[in-house]
Chain A
């Protein structure tokens, strides 16, 4: 061993310590960067040259210092996949729950100003008419018409509110698809950069972080599955439809109904080129579920409330007689909650009597009695408006309650997956500070070795045989 080789050893130590401090400073700088994976320097000792030393005959190993193998990016692919999946499920549930809760808010049930309250008031107004068929009839008949108008207006309000919620969700779908296409295009570029970086042997750890965070975004948006290839690029598939393949991104488009009326014929869906792109996870799946099933179901059920109300009242009303002796008159017209309308214009058009030529209020009483579920069912041969409305509220409530619970559960699943990644790949300031100290000390020690050798050489060169 020569003094000079020890110098070289020390220099490699200095270089390694410096590089390690670099890495540590990178880690500390990115302690709060989302998606950053901590990096670790990997060192190995350099072995001896094989030949025995010529002058000393010492054939023990000659130390060659330290070598920087590479800079390791700490990230567990399995944990990452678990996080992407958990994120996709969480987003799907959360967006579905939020769409449905907007509709739930419209119903205003249970309370004194929901649909049920105006239905009850409507029936009560017929009771008043039945009780006052005499001179106070005009006032009572006016009350019936006002209550009917209030009922119709309330149904219109809720129905148009539902349509609006649907349109909002539809715009959200378009915006989300744009986000998805942006993310897949970005990922294709990153894939290209990774390939180029690998060829030029540039460090690509930061690119890999960028890649993983794009995969997370894509996963949260669409529940897509990413496949990491040996060259570190990823391909992304949504249910076997490729959206990113190497440096190519295949944009997804929105197709299907653009208003709630068209859902039954052609529910909103996504296309990749000319193929259907079935989505089963992520924000898009939640939006599609809300657009294709949840909101239209509520709209249909509300229409059921309106049409059963129309049919029940019309059946009885058209069988009765007005004071003028007219019969066969409808009370409600329209085809659903959105266009239900009141037919009679004045109180004289109300068929309040069971028989012609008398004022008995019996028909008004029969209509008022529709308030009892069994009477409405007897007239309709099926569930009446109140029963349907309660079923609607109960269904929406149950669905939303279970969605909310699932969101809570999925939140904690996601939090666990995220914490697992943070535990593995996150930067610990304590750890970095300790490393910093360690590398600082090793730098100082290597420097000390150099100055020691310098002193040795000084002794040898300047003090010997002078």
Chain B
């Protein structure tokens, strides 16, 4: 297990270095002043130029520059946003909780709905399994943006039932503590907090549904496939022959063994889910990292853009590796696949 962990850690460091290298090259090749692209200081004074050149080792060779860049970024110095003049890190800390809140809720929803439906879809009797199977195929082929617009049009505009844009009605001046809106509302002692909570939940419904759709279909399909394979195995037959009830077979034997392949597939789809987050944030003007990255892109804010990309990509890498470790804990066979 120790060797396995070390290997994963090694992979993490190497991938991160390659990622930083790509971003560094992008910063050098981008139009505009290199120093500005790296530090975000627009129109630096003589003195600032000297200090920044030293800090980023721009007078040295490429490798020194790269190492200085890595040191800056990994110590949390992402430079200043060229559009607002504030540190990129501060802006990131403002927007990341919004994205996390949405993503966590959507993934929870996907698991809560997807796992039972996956089990049901693996059944052998009645029309339900086939219906679910067909349904996931259909859902799988619907693009996120289209689903988002459809729900927005139906529930937001035609029925006028749910807010179709934004995170909360801005008249609720919720103080920023953790950045997670639901938590912040509960922490505040304002007299209107229950109304605000209800409003925030209403705003969450549509984006969460749309974002949860893709992972939910993935979960249903993998659980079903794994369950079907599992239920055919000899140990299950043996248990069945001994008269263990079917629900116990499913819940305590087949399902836990099916979770590992599901986790593996989900971790492979993290990039997909991240791009889904960006699309959903754009459609519902959710003030998270996706909208923020898009704004940075429009405004030609290079430091913000590279900073945001770095954080998103790094968190995907870290999450993938964490999920792999989780799988290794669940399934001893994987631990032996040292080269995985």
- A in complex with B: no
Residues of B within 8 A of A (CB): none
Residues of A within 8 A of B (CB): none
